[in-house]
């Protein structure tokens, strides 16, 4: 989707994929190869004015080793910090940003002590934990021992105090290398089985909470010196406190609705920021919108049938071109724009359920 947005700006695009996912196939300049191979990286990057990543796990350090003059956005330092949850937490603490109480536990005993102190805690792998993978909720020493045996790496685990949040929010920011930035309105996000299910905007928070969330997101990107688009996922407590959950230094699922609901999508502003172009208006161009993810429900070849989904008023269906379906695989999303959030949500749920894969 970033490549599509860049192409509309007249920017030639090269895509390097480590496997044939299907999502880059509409473009002629697609290379499917081992992105750990230094020769592949060097040849692919030759002639690129700027390089960005679809995943923070892309081998940015290897790219810079063979193409040191390439303009990588976000930079290697940002990616190195974000990849490791311990480094994230340290960076946020140094910047005075609000986050849950936590301990970087190097030993089992430190993890036990942290859980005893917090009462209920979430133990997370420093690297590789996402969507419910690589973490465990612990309330006792027995829970800690099981989680430690299953998850701990050489540098231990992150132990976070459990946050009894009232809502989850996400704020997306587009930021250029010179620090110029635009902030998108906060979205209210809903997760099911640890995966994002829906995102709605306006989020319905108080003006004070909305402004706090936007400020925290902007300050987070400044602390990370991030260039491009990044999304800060947040916990909102019953008292209106806003705490950083985690950061994604790239276009994010919670902001996919910006394609249909905002003056400038996150993908176009990502391309603009990476290239040093003026940033676009991040405001809403509709009263309300809701995005619902479309997940696979079966195993086999994809054979989309969109007739019923496209009949839903205000619905836009976005499929990612993946050739095969499997249960819970993210195949696309549906966004509905409407006069109010409740209508947008109801119609988005109906349209997503009507997509046949």
Query: Residues 200-231: pLDDT tens digits?
Result: 999 999 999 999 999 999 999 999 999 999 99
Please report the pLDDT score of residue 37 as a whole number.
87
CB of 265 closer than 8 Å to CB of 258: yes
What is the residue whose two structure tokens read 């704020």?
171
pLDDT at 22 (0 to 100): 54
Identify the three-state secondary structure at position 26. coil
Q: Is the pLDDT of residue 352 over 80?
A: yes
pLDDT at residue 26 in the model: 59
The Cα 60–Cα 62 span in angstroms is 5
- In whole angstroms, what is the distance from residue 330 CA to residue 333 CA? 8
Could you give all domains of the chain from N- to C-terminal order, each with its CATH number? 2-82 (3.40.50.20), 101-161 (3.30.1490.20), 167-354 (3.30.470.20)
Judge whether residue 24 has pLDDT over 60.
no
| CA-wise closest residue to 253 among 153, 167, 330 | 330
338: three-class secondary structure by DSSP: strand
150 is written with which tokens?
């299953």
Is the Cβ–Cβ distance between 200 and 160 less than 8 Å?
no
Question: Residue 27: is its pLDDT beyond 80?
Answer: no
- Which run of H or E residues covers position 234? strand 228-236
pLDDT at 70: 86
Residue 311's pLDDT band (cuts 50, 70, 90) = very high
User: pLDDT value at position 17?
Assistant: 80
Which residue, among 48, 77, 54, has the nearest Cα to 4 in the 3D structure? 54
Query: Does residue 47 surpass a pLDDT of 70?
Result: yes
How confident is the model at residue 54, as a pLDDT?
86
Across the range 1-16, mean pLDDT stands at 85
Distance between CA atoms of residues 140 and 107, nearest Å: 16
DSSP 131-183: TTBTEEEE-SHHHHHHHHHHH-BTTBEEEEEPP--SEEEEEEEEE-TTS-EEE
Task: Assess whether pLDDT exceeds 80 at residue 164.
Answer: yes
Give the distance, in angstroms, between the CA of residue 89 and the centroid of all CA atoms in the same chain: 17
C-alpha to C-alpha distance for 89 and 104, rounded to whole angstroms: 9
Closest by CA to 13, choosing from 1, 25, 23, 27, is 27
Would you say 15 and 3 are in contact if contact means Cβ atoms under 8 Å apart?
yes
Band (pLDDT 50/70/90 cuts) for residue 173 is: very high
- Over 90: is that where the pLDDT of 128 sits? no
Rounded Cα distance between 73 and 273, Å, is 9
Enumerate the β-bridge partners of residue 288: 338
How many CB atoms neighbour CB 262 within 10 A? 24
66 pLDDT exceeds 90?
no
Contact 176, 227 (CB under 8 A): yes
Rounded distance, CA 76 to CA 67, Å?
13
Q: How confident is the model at residue 194, as a pLDDT?
A: 86
Residue 10 contacts by C-beta under 8 Å, 6 or more apart in sequence?
none
Q: pLDDT tens digits, residue range 252-268?
A: 999 999 999 999 999 99
Q: Which helix (H) or strand (E) holds 350?
A: helix 341-354
Q: How far apart are CA 219 and CA 221, in angstroms?
A: 6
Choice between 25 and 46, residue whose per-residue pLDDT is larger: 46
């Amino acid at each position: 989707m970033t490549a599509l947005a860049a192409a509309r700006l007249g920017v030639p695009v090269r895509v390097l994929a480590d496997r044939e996912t299907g999502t880059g196939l509409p473009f002629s300049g697609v290379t499917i190869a081992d992105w750990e191979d230094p020769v592949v990286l060097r040849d692919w990057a030759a002639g690129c004015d700027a390089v960005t990543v679809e995943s923070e796990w892309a081998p940015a350090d290897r790219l810079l080793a063979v193409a040191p003059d390439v303009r990588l956005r976000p930079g290697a330092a940002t990616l190195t910090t974000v990849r490791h949850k311990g480094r994230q937490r340290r960076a946020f603490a140094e910047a005075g940003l609000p986050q849950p109480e936590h301990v970087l536990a190097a030993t089992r005993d430190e993890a036990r002590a942290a859980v005893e102190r917090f009462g209920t805690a979430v133990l997370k792998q420093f690297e590789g934990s996402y969507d419910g993978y690589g973490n465990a909720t612990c309330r006792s020493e027995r829970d800690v021992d099981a989680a430690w045996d299953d998850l701990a790496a050489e540098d231990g685990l992150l132990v976070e105090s459990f946050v009894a949040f009232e809502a989850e929010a996400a704020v997306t920011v587009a930021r250029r290398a010179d620090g110029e930035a635009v902030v998108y309105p906060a979205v209210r996000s809903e997760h099911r089985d640890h995966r994002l299910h829906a995102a709605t905007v306006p989020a319905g928070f108080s003006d004070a909470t909305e402004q706090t969330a936007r400020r925290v997101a902007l300050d987070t990107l400044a602390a990370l010196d991030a260039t491009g688009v990044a999304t800060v996922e947040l916990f909102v407590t019953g008292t209106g406190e806003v705490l950083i959950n985690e950061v994604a230094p790239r276009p994010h699922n919670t902001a996919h609705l910006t394609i249909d609901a905002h003056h400038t999508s996150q993908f176009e502003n990502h391309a603009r920021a990476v290239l040093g172009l003026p940033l676009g208006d991040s405001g809403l161009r509709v009263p309300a919108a809701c995005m619902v993810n479309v997940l696979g429900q079966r195993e086999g070849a994809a054979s989309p049938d969109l007739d019923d989904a496209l009949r839903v008023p205000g619905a836009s269906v976005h499929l990612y071109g993946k050739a095969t379906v499997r249960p819970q695989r993210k195949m696309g999303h549906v966004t509905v724009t409407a006069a109010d959030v409740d209508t947008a949500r109801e119609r988005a749920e109906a349209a997503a359920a009507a997509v046949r894969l």
